[in-house]
Structure 1
């Protein structure tokens, strides 16, 4: 299987290439405008084919493409490869607006090819093991609440960058029912001048309370997850360990020693899933709906807050 990597930023270099380069049966083709980066990584990973223009990949005989370029370039590049009938992976977000996301999924449907979104938090093994794999639609009926917080220090930002490039992580992580609008959603925000500093969304799905929170004027960078069931609860402040609370007792839970960091953060599981999607040529309808709805919900937030700063 020949997979092209388009755009090699920090995450692609640190999280994706180390995993992909070790997969048996996968041959990588690199594409980035930065020739120095291209040559360095080609040498490091012994990659033979390299390009500086993604349109040249049409002659590289690739089976799939992974897009890690800037958010603004995602719609154009993704549309190019979807038109060619190639399974396409896009690191989150798909675009910085809901309309472009809808157009891309419509194109993917017309061309009958999978359009895969890089939401690694759906594949964090510690959470999957103890939370009933709720990120994949196997939610425990007794789940009473799920709260996902992702905070940063001194990084208030523009509305769309805040919502689509960063807040979409906790938003998608609690969007278990593929909600795509703000009906019955409680939204609160804080601005610092024209910059968005904090955002919280909370709603109820059946008997489950869902809450996504981000404060980018926090004391430090951190991520916390808490899930409550009937008379039991889980608390996580990292991808590797947490607490289980039941019968007024607290026990520590953690991943096995020597679990690779990229596995702990969900990248390894996500890439395995992506490879299986390429091989089958299909993406579950429930996954498509959630991918799109999380972006539509992000767009609804931006529309609601437009001009509030």
Structure 2
């Protein structure tokens, strides 16, 4: 299986290349605009010269069976459009685009061409979070904070808070019929945001503070006299009487702990079996993100 990897930056090195280059039957084809980065990355993973592509046209001419897009967000629309029109099943780092109109266009293109399109919401595959689907979820609380970096509303929401939005959507136990957004904006920068989703018998609250003093991620799900707490995707604390603590094993790879490995394998398995993946559900997350951005921009 010939698999293109577009964009060879930090996330590709930390999360995706270590997984892709060890999958049986996967032949990686690399593309980035930087010759130095292309050479260094290909040398690191022992990718032959014939599988190194400084130009996108050359990569597409290689006859790809699938592609992963890890380029900067503003490059996603053009790259994904080229891949989908070439009939190549495509996996894209979140967000699909940081503009709802562009995201809608790409999903519509994938649907009309019948080509798989997947968005990299890795937390849906992270074991500590996926296991929460088995827990009562009358109340869901998720916090994802940063130390001291307020950002523009669009960048903060689409590049960071989108994980909180999608995780809440993934975990809610029923249809959402009430949505509430609260943002704090100063001098055009978003300091913190709170999202509440509610439905019959449940409430889900997500919060992010970019001036919190620390970087942390905490998820709590509770109901029926029990609570499960997950800290930084690595530590699970079950509360039912006395707390019980489980920690990530010393030899568990970070990519597996954070769900990246499982997301990659799920996508590749779908390609191998000819199962088409739709990004329609991922689009619902982008719609919520745009709603939050609109609220924040209204406060500028």
TM-score, normalization: structure 2? 0.94
1:5 aligns with 2:15: no
CA distance in 1, matches of 2:295, 2:214: 28
Aligned residues of 1:156 and 1:192 also touching (Cα < 8 A): no
**1:27-46 maps to which residues of 2 (within 5 A)?**
27-46=27-46
* Aligned-pair CA distance for 1:7: 0.9
Aligned to 1:57: 59
Aligned to 1:219: 213
Secondary structure of the 1:199 match is strand
**1:260-275 maps to which residues of 2 (within 5 A)?**
260-275=253-268
Deviations 1:62-113 (A, max 9, x none): 1111111110110111011101111011100000111111111110011101
CA distance in 1, matches of 2:248, 2:210: 28
Deviations 1:100-135 (A, max 9, x none): 111111100111011011111111112323x136xx
**Structure 1 residues 276, 206: CA separation in 2 closer, same or farther (over 3 Å shift)?**
farther
CA distance in 2, matches of 1:170, 1:281: 31
Aligned to 2:88: 86
* Aligned-pair CA distance for 1:304: 2.5
Aligned to 1:303: 294
CA distance in 1, matches of 2:158, 2:54: 27
* Aligned-pair CA distance for 1:283: 4.1
Deviations 1:159-216 (A, max 9, x none): 11011111101110001389xxx97322111123210010000021221211111100
Work out which of the residue numbers 264, 272, 290 in structure 2 matches 1:279: 272
CA distance in 1, matches of 2:13, 2:277: 28
Aligned to 2:129: 127
Q: How many residues align?
A: 297
Cα RMSD of the aligned pairs, angstroms, is 2.0
CA distance in 2, matches of 1:277, 1:70: 25
Aligned to 2:106: 104
TM-score, normalization: structure 1? 0.91
CA distance in 2, matches of 1:177, 1:249: 25
Aligned residues of 2:237 and 2:244 also touching (Cα < 8 A): yes
Aligned residues of 1:113 and 1:281 also touching (Cα < 8 A): no
Aligned to 1:203: 197
Aligned residues of 2:191 and 2:211 also touching (Cα < 8 A): yes
Aligned residues of 1:116 and 1:283 also touching (Cα < 8 A): no
Deviations 1:256-287 (A, max 9, x none): 342112111111111111111212333456xx
Secondary structure of the 1:156 match is coil
Task: List structure 1 runs of 4+ shifted beyond 3 angstroms.
Answer: none
Aligned to 2:72: 70
Q: Unpaired runs of 5+ in structure 2? A: none
CA distance in 2, matches of 1:268, 1:176: 18
**Structure 1 residues 220, 192: CA separation in 2 closer, same or farther (over 3 Å shift)?**
same
**1:164-243 maps to which residues of 2 (within 5 A)?**
164-176=158-170, 184-243=178-237
Aligned to 1:250: 243
Secondary structure of the 1:176 match is helix
CA distance in 1, matches of 2:270, 2:124: 15
Aligned residues of 2:3 and 2:64 also touching (Cα < 8 A): yes
**Structure 1 residues 307, 128: CA separation in 2 closer, same or farther (over 3 Å shift)?**
closer
Q: Unpaired runs of 5+ in structure 1? A: 134-139
Aligned residues of 2:183 and 2:295 also touching (Cα < 8 A): no
Secondary structure of the 2:245 match is strand
User: Relative to structure 2, which stretch is displaced further, 297-306 or 227-236?
Assistant: 297-306
